[in-house]
Amino acid sequence: MIARRTRVLLLLLGATAALTATGVAAGEALGRLAEARAEAVRLEARIGQLREEAARAAAAVVERDAIRVEVEARAARRYAAGTMNPYAFATLAKARLSSLGVTVLRYQVVEGGTHPGVDVTATGSVRSFVAFLRGISEDGRLWIVPSLEIELHPVDGSADVRLRIGYATDDGAGR
């Protein structure tokens, strides 16, 4: 027979061990629960951000496609590298002006730079010059007019023009 005091002490020891083990297990469970919840909160916030980015992605695709169309259209108007030179361009410019009834009084080929071309001094009707500018605005290849001086004569509707006309290549070298 175990003495009563010993029995009580053994019971206390057993209870303490049981409570300690329960406390340790509960602590671990609570720790895991807290960690999991914190991680879940972080992930939910991240998923919220990713959802917003995904929503913007659809609009970004549309924007990219629109810019690509712009860039392709602009690049397509440039002369391919090596297909144009300032002298051939000057010939084209003179012929175009002449076809509109403009009289070329003087011209000088401009080589080098990003937009080589020709400086032209001409005279003709205002309509002819407007038609020339509309033509190079609307037609396929990009002709650039870096400078333009027009002196109008309202009496007969004519104008004296000094302008530089240039061209652009797709490599940006102007050759």
Partner 1 sequence: MRLERGELAGGRVARAGTGPFDALLVSRLDVDLLVLDIPPIPDRDLEGLVRYKLRSRYPGNPGQTSFDYRVAHRGKIRRAIVFVARTSTVEAYRAAAGRRPLVAPCQLVAGRVPRRGPFTAWIGDGRWAEVLEFRDGVLVSSRVVHRGNGDWRTAAGSSAPALVVAPGKDLEGLACGDGTTSLPLESIRLRRAGLKGLFPGPGPGPTVSPGVRTALLVASVLVLGVLVLFRFARREEARVDRLQGMARSMEQEALASHALRQETDSLLLERDRLDAGVPPDRYRLLAELSAVLGNTARVWAIELRDDRFQFEAAGSDPLALMEAMKARDGFDGLQLSPVVPDTASGTERFSISGIFHDR
Name the site residues for partner 1 (rule: CB under 8 A). 15, 18-19, 22, 25-26, 29-30, 32-33, 36-37, 39-40, 43-44, 46-47, 50-51, 53-54, 56-57, 60-61, 63-64, 67-68, 70-71, 74-75, 78, 114-115, 130, 133-134, 136-138, 142, 144-154, 168, 172
Instruction: Select 94 or 162, whichever has its Cβ closest to partner 1.
Output: 162
As a dihedral over the C-alpha atoms of residue 14, residue 17, residue 19, residue 25, rounded to 10 degrees, the angle is -140
Tell me the closest approach of the beta carbon of residue 26 to partner 1, in angstroms: 5
C-alpha R_g of the chain: 42
Cβ(70)–Cβ(163) below 8 Å = no
Give the separation between CA 81 and CA 170, rounded to whole angstroms. 6
Tell me the closest approach of the beta carbon of residue 159 to partner 1, in angstroms: 9
CB atoms under 10 Å from CB of 50, counted, come to 10
Instruction: Select 26 or 105, whichever has its Cβ closest to partner 1.
Output: 26
Tell me the closest approach of the beta carbon of residue 33 to partner 1, in angstroms: 4
Tell me the closest approach of the beta carbon of residue 22 to partner 1, in angstroms: 5
Give the separation between CA 106 and CA 10, rounded to whole angstroms. 121
Instruction: Select 9 or 71, whichever has its Cβ closest to partner 1.
Output: 71
Tell me the closest approach of the beta carbon of residue 121 to partner 1, in angstroms: 14
